[in-house]
Amino acid sequence: MFIVNSYTIAVILCVVTMLCWGSWANTLKMSPKGWEFPLYYWDYSLGTVLLALIFGLTLGNIGEEGRGFFEDLVQADTRWLGSAFLGGIIFNLSNLLIVAATAIAGMAVAFPLAVGLALVIGVVVNFIAESKGDPLILFIGVGLVVVAIVVNAIAYRKLPSGKGGTSMKGILISILSGIIMGFFFRFVAASMSMNFTSPEAGKMTPYTAVFVFSLGLFISNFIWNTFFMYRPVEGEPVTYADYFKKGNLKIHLIGLLGGIIWNIGMSFSLIAAEQAGPAISYGLGQGATMIAAAWGVFIWKEFKEAPRSTNWLLFLMFLFFISGLMLVIIARNV
């Protein structure tokens, strides 16, 4: 299996994770009007499973070190299979909520709030379980991210009425999503041996763990996504028949692409976890908040109707995010 043997390469993979996790929601923006997000999400979930299987059969089987993909899957203990699977179930609920929040409030609001809050919770939880890095520098970095989240919420409140200025729905859903999302990574990381070259018996390597995680995501879709189909937080209710009636190849490929992009990030985050440690690997990946906010501000122009004074708030948001992420990177080698 492909194994990362240096912290520098691990950081590079975490940066790719950040780009993937911050960019996949653009595919939701590309979906045509009338293709409600629960319909899009079926293709997204299929994309995550497809990517996990491709990586498992390729990267998971090359080289002489570690265990091959199928060998690793067969030897895995039920406890750890269940842990990774549960991580997929937890993430899926939080991700459906963030997709809903994106549809309501836009990427520049939903991601900094939800994923930023998930970063804070996730870093704390994963650091307690696997303490790698200087805790003072790490948590100062996390604190700066918290400040960025607050600044983003203030900027959101300055949007005109009907765009977020008087509605708290998008903010509340984003916060709920972030709280739930903050716990999923620990279940997946716990299922893995942190020695990829000579992995612990019963535990999994990254490629197997992300595949089982993806199965948990997809299968739980029949519960979580079915609820959102018939009881949407935004838009009209849809049915399973609508998925086949309204969709065409191009529309389905957009959703598949979204899931593939996201799971490239998830896979790289787990591959980097041995060298970086789960807390830093997860924390850097969740810098996706900055990437998504940049898409929302500069490409989708989600704040174009806000007062000019809001530009300073957005500048401060990016400044605090970038500063916080740099401290998270530095924390590993101090």
User: Can you tell me the mean pLDDT for 144-173?
Assistant: 71
> Which of 33-37, 63-67, 227-231 shows the highest mean pLDDT?
227-231
The model's confidence at residue 164, banded by pLDDT at 50, 70 and 90, is very low
> Which residues are CB-contacts of 212 (< 8 A; sequence separation ≥ 6)?
73, 76, 81, 84, 85, 88, 191, 204
**Greater confidence, 24 or 77?**
77
User: Can you tell me the mean pLDDT for 234-255?
Assistant: 93
pLDDT at 166: 35
The model's confidence at residue 198, banded by pLDDT at 50, 70 and 90, is very high
Q: Is 226 helix (H, G, I), strand (E, B) or coil?
A: helix
Residue 38's identity, in one-letter code, is: P
Nearest of 219, 217, 193 to residue 206 by alpha carbon: 193
For the segment 186-195, what is each residue's pLDDT rounded down to a tens digit?
A: 999 999 999 9
pLDDT at 163: 47
Report the distance separating Cα 291 and Cα 313, nearest Å: 16
Report the distance separating Cα 155 and Cα 149, nearest Å: 10
> What integer best gives the mean pLDDT of the chain?
87
Provide the token pair at 167: 């509605």
DSSP state of 297: I
**Greater confidence, 293 or 52?**
52
The model's confidence at residue 102, banded by pLDDT at 50, 70 and 90, is confident
pLDDT at 77: 97
Report the distance separating Cα 325 and Cα 142, nearest Å: 8
pLDDT of residue 312 exceeding 50, the answer is: yes
pLDDT at 108: 63
Report the distance separating Cα 152 and Cα 312, nearest Å: 11
> Which residues are CB-contacts of 44 (< 8 A; sequence separation ≥ 6)?
27, 255, 256, 258, 259, 262
Report the distance separating Cα 262 and Cα 45, nearest Å: 10
In total, the chain counts a number of residues equal to: 334
Surface-to-core class of residue 72, CB atoms within 10 Å of its CB (0-12 exposed, 13-18 middle, 19+ buried): buried
Report the distance separating Cα 102 and Cα 88, nearest Å: 20
Bridge partners (DSSP) listed for residue 192: 204
Phi, psi of 278, deg, nearest 5: -60, -40
DSSP state of 315: H
pLDDT at 304: 79
User: Can you tell me the mean pLDDT for 172-193?
Assistant: 91
**pTM for the model:** 0.84
For the segment 248-270, what is each residue's pLDDT rounded down to a tens digit?
A: 999 999 999 999 999 999 999 99
pLDDT at 70: 94
User: Can you tell me the mean pLDDT for 163-192?
Assistant: 82
Bridge partners (DSSP) listed for residue 204: 192
pLDDT of residue 180 exceeding 80, the answer is: yes
CB 117 within 8 A of CB 258: no
* Residue 322 burial (CB count, 10 A): 14
pLDDT at 333: 63
**Greater confidence, 104 or 30?**
30
**Greater confidence, 327 or 108?**
327
CB 86 within 8 A of CB 216: yes
> Which of 11-25, 115-129, 275-289 shows the highest mean pLDDT?
11-25
Lowest mean pLDDT among 32-36, 167-171, 231-235: 167-171
pLDDT at 215: 98
**Greater confidence, 37 or 116?**
37
pLDDT at 262: 94
**Greater confidence, 61 or 131?**
61
